[in-house]
Amino acid sequence: MAKKPFYSNSPASKGFTNKAMPASTVSRNTPLPRPSSPLKREITHEMIAKRAFEIHISGKGGSQVDNWLRAERELKGL
């Protein structure tokens, strides 16, 4: 009695050889995963102060505290 192939839908069971195998494209159903640990840059006091000053001189800022907090949020990406 002849043994049945383990996986009957394999290209070998359909008579394909390596040269005659149809080309296939691998597709993903999900977007690429994000890196598990994004590169974190250190936000310094000077960087926040500089950005807060830029917000202040733009004329679109608020109080000193508001500008500082906005600068922190922008630099930290929140």
Output the six-digit token pair for 55.
Answer: 């917000």
Output the six-digit token pair for 35.
Answer: 């890196």
Give the pLDDT confidence of 63-76 residue by residue, as tens digits: 999 999 999 999 99
Print burial letters for 19-42: b (CB count within 10 Å at least 16), e (below 16).
eeeeeeeeeeeeeeeeeeeeeeee
Give the pLDDT confidence of 12-69 residue by residue, as tens digits: 555 555 555 556 666 666 676 666 555 667 899 999 999 999 999 998 889 999 999 9
Check: pTM over 0.95? Answer yes or no: no
* Dihedral angle sign, alpha carbons of residues 35, 36, 39, 44: positive
